[in-house]
Structure 1
Amino acid sequence: MRLSHRVAAGVDSPMAAAYDGLRAAGGRRPLLDLARAAPAYPPAPEVVEHVAAVAADARYAAQAGLPHLREAFAADLRADHGGDVTADDLVVTAGCNQAFCLVADALCAPGDEVVVARPTYFNHAMWLRMRGVEPVVLEPDAALVPRAADAEAVLSPRTRAIVLVTPGNPSGVEVPPDELAAFADLARRHDLALVLDETYRAFRSTGPHALYAAPDWRDTVVTLHSFSKDLALAGYRVGALAGGEALRRQALKLLDCVAIGAPRVGQEAAWAGLEKAHAWRAERAAEVGARRAAFAAAMRERPGGFEVVALGGFFAWVRHPRRDATTPDVVMALLREQDVLVMAGTDFQDVDDATLRVSVGNLTDVDDLVARLREFGA
């Protein structure tokens, strides 16, 4: 039976396409994989030890998440941001992407609109379009920071939410806390949701936001979280969302249909990381920060004509020198000629401004990368 004619058309995953391109690698030297957006290092030993101890328990967890994980994560959020966030505000999900999908489906119906800042995390845009929801692009300022004052002009009667990612994926840009407060005020005035994806929160360099301090934050603010990056648990598939009761109730109905609940072993791993690996978390965040700093220093002379446009969190947004070629072609040439794998900026926006996403959080040898960039641009 042929079903291809029944499958809805859509944009293929850019990440899958990037790794499909590995067959074009030159193979002259080891691959520098700077496309993947998750840490390459393993989880903390304390986490591995705890997972081994609880692996025999294969029961469903409570649907909203293991109570001890929700308590631990609520305490973690309070310690970071202050304000009033409790275990009851949280739903544990099978990763942050699932958290976004649940929230988007809870908030929107086909024909609605959601404001997303450029450059846009492609999974957000893909999911919205597959659900018949239109992503409306908010142009950032010259430093790639989205501004609440500019967002008002793109709102319409069909707008249901504003989505921000900070630190940004793909740009690395961090939205300042006062700007996040301005977005929350804008969303509150227009009866919209402000959906804040904080997947790379552990790697930020700016101060924390204070959104949970507002007494009515649950009426407007929804935050999305990942333990994949902070605790190096990508394969365990565990994340979370924080929001008001009505949103959580709808998210739980959706979750019941697609996964029942997040994997129990992943939740136990996340709890162990939060409770037992404080020093490890701090060391990994400092390590990623040091890699960012080394990358920034090495790129000041624009090796091979490559120029850093923005840098923060886990990523650098870099402009390439081959302006006479399309960026996807440049990505393939960089892979073929230098065995360097990155993501094209066109995977995250409709314009081709010669930009690339580089996962500097996974860059262990900046001198090697710089040498390859110089050779590519020669």
Structure 2
Amino acid sequence: MAEKGIIPVKLSLTEGDFYTLWAPLWREGGNEWQAFLGAGDDLYVFNSPEELLVYIESEEKHDLSSHPEWQKFNSGDAARVVPSTNGELDIVGAPALLADRPSYANVKTISRVFAVMRSLGNVTASSPVMVFFSSHSVLGNVDRGPDHYAGPNGLSEWTAIGRAVVPNWNGVVDALDEAITIKEVSSLFVEDAATRIAEAQAATEAAREAEEQVAKEEAEKIDPYDNSPWAVAGIDPVKISIDGRTVYTLRTYLNGQPVFLGKFGEIYTFNSQKSLLRWLVEHDDHDLARASTWSDLMLGINAGETQVQVHEDNVYSFNGLVKDINTSVDAVDTKQMARAYELMADTADWADDDSMNSYFLANPRMQDYISYMLGGSDTSGYVPHAPFNDHSEGWRELEEMLIKRFSKF
């Protein structure tokens, strides 16, 4: 067992379940020590964690009070006397585990039982216990873990442990039954101890649930896309829904400027994610190829390990905007319009043409309308009013400029 300090344990012996405190091996003053709760030659056990708590809160002296970790242990809440699952040791039932296969759980449980049994034997100077362990060296191999029994000789060695335990175990357990002292405490304080233990356990559980909730919320803040090959490369798949169709392409930013999958102002677009990946495997003559991370991204694509992932920030929908613009100012989803306009501006910047600028010079009211809708300050006091058909037609012209840049549509 890897426990350190002072830990509560539950010992299942012939007469039932008993609770005590165990201090596994520790080093002090150049010597090694181990101990259980007790005084002198007596090892104290209790019928319940509540009785154990009542005792250690009394002024009665015991050997563990001189342990270097005692003050730290005894400053804990009332639930400090309640064993964890690993601290619940079915000593009487140990042979049954050896009759089963050497699973992870069985090997670990037997290892913990043997560790406490050895310690009990040494602390109480119980000859039957000490002789049993010293006479069967095969028992020590359980501390090597489950993997030790996974080899070709593992099952036979596990069986050898069972052959050593079965005929001797009753005698060992009887020796421990004789070595313990069932300590009695005043029943007046047991009910209060039970209440305080329950409250401490409830508080611990509430704290654990709160920590799990915080951890869950933090995990939810982490965007899975951030760990994708696309995010690592800084090159994003883009999904565009416009004029009743949907196309896919790629985009990155180099030195703050947008760069699309394409060449000479033409954006290479695809009607499915699979067709986009197939094209990338067979072609490398495009502007994105000059990105320093492109070759790394292509390693995964060529190996068939990288699939298209479109982050919600890279989804652009133009659907319904022309109709909404023609209806009223309030009918327009300005967030949708802003993102659509962002995409159109990016494509124009990448293509290095002034078609959008020329359009707005020729149609200043359309520029005022977009500035007003997107919260711009330079609208020269302009406020849109019905009819809005000029604005809807103007927006449609901007969409057509974008579509003309697509290789396939």
Q: TM-score, structure 1 length as denominator?
A: 0.23
Identify, as 1 or 2, the structure richer in helix: 2
